[in-house]
Amino acid sequence: MVTMNRVAWLVVAVLCCLRNGAVEGFHAVYEELMSVPAAVVDNQYRTVFHFQPPRNWINDPNGPMYYNGIYHFFYQYNPYGAVWGNIVWGHSVSTDLINWIAVEPALYPSKPFDVNGCWSGSATILPGNKPVILYTGVDPKNRQVQNIAFPKNLSDPYLREWVKPDYNPIMDPDSGVNASAFRDPTTAWYGSDGHWRLVVGSKRKHRGLAIMYRSKDFIHWIKAKHPLHSANGTGMWECPDFYPVSMEGKLGVDTAEYGNGLKYVLKNSLDVTRYEYYTLGTYLRDIDRYIPDGTSADDGSGLRYDYGNFYASKTFYDEGKKRRILWGWSNESDSSLDDVGKGWAGIEAIPRAVWLDTNGRQLIQWPVEEIETLRGKQVSVMNKNVKSGEVVEVSGIMTSQADVEVTFQLSTLDKIEPFDSMWTDPQKLCEQKGADVTGGVGPFGLLALASANREEQTAVFFRLYSSPKGYIGLMCHDPSRSTVRPGLYKPTFGGWVDVDIKKNGMLSLRSLIDRSVVESFGAEGRTCITSRVYPSVAVDGDAHLFVFNNGAEDVKISELKAWEMMKPSMNGI
């Protein structure tokens, strides 16, 4: 451990522990805090129904899989502290993706090929129903290498112990690969030529790369001549994910599926911006190239699963319910010193089913149906007009942990504002036009985790605009008043809403509110935004929920249903 004198330590604490709007490259490293055990575990901000271990730091979802009736979820975990470091693969199991049992870490640094870290990776189920993990190890020279691990005992339903053969690593950064930018292998897929394939995230200068490897036996891997895909100006591609989606319906398809009626998704997590983006496209298997459709940008400015705090995501095919499920990490947005004080940091967003929108231009995401088993006491509001400037309270349940579904009816759009073609960045537009900035049609939506006088509130809302090409929808999270605590990082987030508003005349919103997180699904899951917030008044029974409308045009709550959420069994707590 690095030792520092008091003054140097104070400088580091002040400079690096303020997550103040700045973008962090890779994970911030606070050596002095890495192994500070949790003195207490703070419950004020601990989520109730989001995935969390009992204490300490977590980040990326790793190797999710469904195997013999059990969901396995692995995650980057620091067993010794509440900041990033000492990383092992934490491991939990579940039969419903909601109630979790923690088992011992599956992978921890123990061999030369991972002595400096067991970083992210994926699971593949091999023929004969044999699961295998591929992960990034950090070797004694701090080179990133790819390793393989097998369950020790396939008859253990929880697959508690994993074996790392001594022939690792199975993929080395050869002369053409940057050894400090070579990580996060995907789930592998089997081709008709008898070769397995996978990609590993990398970069060359500022070009993000999905380097492809092939193998006949899953143990000897050869780098392909060209990457599956790359994009200039995007920097390091962390946690790539590559999978097919069906062009019809909501069912998922196995990663190895190929043929008519499928489109492919390539998602990358950008180390430079700490945002992810995905494109939809075609996989030309014969030449191992992925060609994105021209319908969204391939430079990091295009489609995202989530326009908020959501990173290092990974999907898996759930053979049990024939669906594709997305996991993503939502980091804290308080300071590292706050995290040490809380004794924990990081949550996983609620697992989401993912499928292709009928327009073929984007994905749709929806919380897995199992989450509804946690719905308790319910209240409803029906056919309620919300006038310009009006606020309507939704009372009768504890809204600090709630599932809220609301459909707004837009009877007239006469007062809609014109869209300015200079507005290219939805997040910036949401920053300019926060919840209190009056508009034509919108802002309207929810005020979550609000104090009674709304001094604290996290606003989740829509604004609509008209353009010569039609109506344009904007969805925002404005947490600028989420807490009266000073000095916290409270970024506004925003995304476009690609839905035919005129045809539907309706716009829906669902928000999962869980003490320090608001996770929202706009237009039936077409635009998703997650924010981490730290109210100090709007806590427990003092948290209120409102519907607001700061647009000139009235809107109608066609139907609102809100449920208080019960606590699942979460890793023993």
Site residues for ligand DQQ, 164-193, by CB under 6 A, read 183-184
Residue 371 touches ligand DQQ, criterion: CB under 6 A: no
For ligand DQQ, give the closer residue by CB, 312 or 562.
Answer: 312
Q: Of 42, 60, 334, 554, which is the active-site residue?
A: 60
Site residues for ligand DQQ, 17-46, by CB under 6 A, read 27
Q: Which of 106, 103, 134, 139 is nearest to 120 (CA)?
A: 134
For ligand DQQ, give the closer residue by CB, 75 or 355.
Answer: 75
Overall residue count recorded for the chain in this entry: 573
Residue 136 touches ligand DQQ, criterion: CB under 6 A: yes
Structure tokens at 470: 């039609």
> For residue 140, is it left (φ>0), alpha (ψ between -120 and 50) or beta?
alpha
To the nearest 10°, report the CA torsion of 227, 230, 233, 234: -100
Structure tokens at 354: 């993912």
Q: List, in order, residues 6 or more apart from 347 with CB less than 8 Å away.
A: 47, 50, 51, 52, 58, 329, 330, 516, 517, 532
Q: How far is the CB of 121 from ligand DQQ (least distance, A)?
A: 8
Q: How far is the CB of 435 from ligand DQQ (least distance, A)?
A: 30
Contact letters for ligand DQQ, residues 285-314 (x by CB under 6 A):
---------------------------x--
Residue 331 touches ligand DQQ, criterion: CB under 6 A: no
SS3 292: strand
For ligand DQQ, give the closer residue by CB, 51 or 563.
Answer: 51
For ligand DQQ, give the closer residue by CB, 59 or 296.
Answer: 59
Q: How far is the CB of 144 from ligand DQQ (least distance, A)?
A: 8
Residue 76 touches ligand DQQ, criterion: CB under 6 A: yes
User: Are residues 133 and 123 in contact, defined by beta-carbon separation less than 8 angstroms?
Assistant: yes
For ligand DQQ, give the closer residue by CB, 122 or 482.
Answer: 122
In the annotation, is 60 catalytic? yes
Residue from 238, 241, 306, 370 binding ligand DQQ (CB under 6 A): 238
Cα 127-132-133 angle, rounded to 5 deg: 150
Q: How far is the CB of 88 from ligand DQQ (least distance, A)?
A: 10
542: which DSSP letter? G
Q: How far is the CB of 333 from ligand DQQ (least distance, A)?
A: 15
For 339, other C-beta atoms within 10 Å of its C-beta total 26
> One-letter amino acid identity for 490?
K
For ligand DQQ, give the closer residue by CB, 87 or 159.
Answer: 87
464: part of which helix (H) or strand (E)?
Answer: strand 457-467
User: Are residues 449 and 401 in contact, defined by beta-carbon separation less than 8 angstroms?
Assistant: no
Active centre residues (catalytic)? 60
Give the residues lining the site for ligand DQQ (CB under 6 A): 27, 59-60, 76, 87, 119-120, 136, 183-184, 238-239, 312
